[in-house]
Amino acid sequence: MAQCTITATQFKAYFDRGDFTYGADLPAIRDSDIDKAIAEMEATINQDIYPTESICQTAKLYLSAHFLSLDTGAADSGGQPSFNQTSRTADGISEAVQIPDWMSQGEFGFYTSTYYGQKWAILTKPYIDGAVFSVPGSTRP
């Protein structure tokens, strides 16, 4: 597949429903923040697994949003790491959320810490899974 690219302008157009607040002054998301997230995404993604440019661009947008979300979360928390939440309680109400094992274990665990990373994993999983079949028989010298 040909090189598929995304830009900060495409990112802002795709996530235009309040996912992020864009602007030139902090705490708004600046183009340089998006460019940084895109660079981090490019360092980790294998674009050749996606069958079309459209799917590739969508996956890149969500993975960039994942990195941007992590960066803004780190800025808000003073750099404290975040971990996947499995339960919470407030005013006597309890909620537990279970992420499927294939997402929370192994290489996908890092991406389940944000909504955008989960979306990327769901978009990507069909292209990295494979089927292994055995065929009965033998070989002869």
- pLDDT by 10s per residue, the chain, length 141: 557 999 999 999 999 998 899 999 888 999 999 999 999 999 888 888 889 999 999 999 999 999 998 888 766 555 444 444 556 677 777 766 555 665 566 666 667 767 787 778 777 776 676 666 677 777 777
* pLDDT given for residue 79 in this prediction: 47
Asked if residue 15 belongs to a domain, the reply is yes
C-alpha span between 106 and 88 (Å, rounded): 24
pLDDT at 97: 56
Residue 51 lies in a domain: yes
Long-range Cβ pairs for the range 70-73 (8 Å, 24+): 70/113, 70/114, 71/33, 71/36, 71/37, 72/20, 72/27, 72/29, 72/33, 73/114
Contact 82, 117 (CB under 8 A): no
Residue 133 located in a structural domain: no
Q: Is residue 63 in a domain?
A: yes
Query: Is residue 2 in a domain?
Result: no
Q: Domain for residue 37, yes or no? A: yes
Is 134 a domain residue?
Answer: no
- Domain hosting 27: range is 8-128
* Residues ≥6 apart with Cβ < 8 Å to 79: none
Res 115: pLDDT: 74
| Domains held by the chain: number | 1
Q: Is residue 111 part of a domain?
A: yes
Q: What pLDDT sits at residue 68? A: 93
